[in-house]
Amino acid sequence: MLLIQDTIVSLEVLEKEFCCDLDNCKGCCCIEGDAGAPVTPEEEERLRAMLPELLPMMTMEARQVVEREGIAYNDPSGERVLQIVNDKDCIFARTDHNGWCYCVIERLYNQQSGSSSQDSAGGTLNIGFKKPVSCHLYPIRLTQIGQRVGVEYHRWDICHSSRQLGHKLHLPLYKFLKEPLVRRFGQDWYNELCLTAEEWKKQMKSER
């Protein structure tokens, strides 16, 4: 474990190589699993505000879940997570005619990034939210370790081809996830992580 500012970072974040291999996995991480993606209170509020834009893009089943139960619930640990459909699919996931899964939040962001749309009351609704940070960070997961945030690598069998691609490209996990790590922790934190990673690599070489 490494201490980066007020976080505890697993060495696997530096050691593992990873690059999402969408040609093989087709984004199935959004429709596999037994719980929804964690969301912060701020993200949940933001998504509620975006629902008039998002609902027409969602599946009928997902819209029915939202109507009955809202967009999030407390999992057994008490963490707030997004609702799922059929015990596995994220409510914001869709599958296209080629079998590729995509996030309607991200689709809306890509369509309207840098612009604004009309909300249900006729005002402007800025679309500057790409997806929950827990989704953006995956396969890194954040945990609570005492008073600090833990930054840990999560291994999932469905990401096997992504690990292979990352190894082929010699792409460390922390570099692949630069954008969401900077989004969550800031540029100074990420710069410190990179410096620590370089020192760690030098140390590993000297010990061989």
Give 115-157 pLDDT, tens digit per residue.
544 444 444 444 568 899 999 999 999 999 999 999 999 998 8
Residue of 147, 145, 144, 115 lying closest to 128 (CA atoms): 115
Task: Please tell me the pTM assigned to this model.
Answer: 0.85
Indicate the residue type of 150: G
How confident is the model at residue 115, as a pLDDT?
Answer: 52
How confident is the model at residue 25, as a pLDDT?
Answer: 80
Question: Which parts of the chain sit beneath pLDDT 70?
Answer: 33, 114-128, 208
**For residue 71, how far is the Cα from the chain centroid?**
17
Crossing angle of helices 104-112 and 41-54, rounded to 10°: 70
* Residue-wise pLDDT tens digits, 171-180: 999 999 999 9
What mean pLDDT is reported for the chain?
Answer: 88
Strand partners, 94: 102
SS3 98: coil
d(CA 177, CA 174): 5
Tallying the residues shown for the chain, one arrives at 208
The terminus-to-terminus CA distance of the chain in angstroms comes to 20
Query: What tokens does 137 get?
Result: 């960070």
SS3 49: helix
How confident is the model at residue 119, as a pLDDT?
Answer: 46
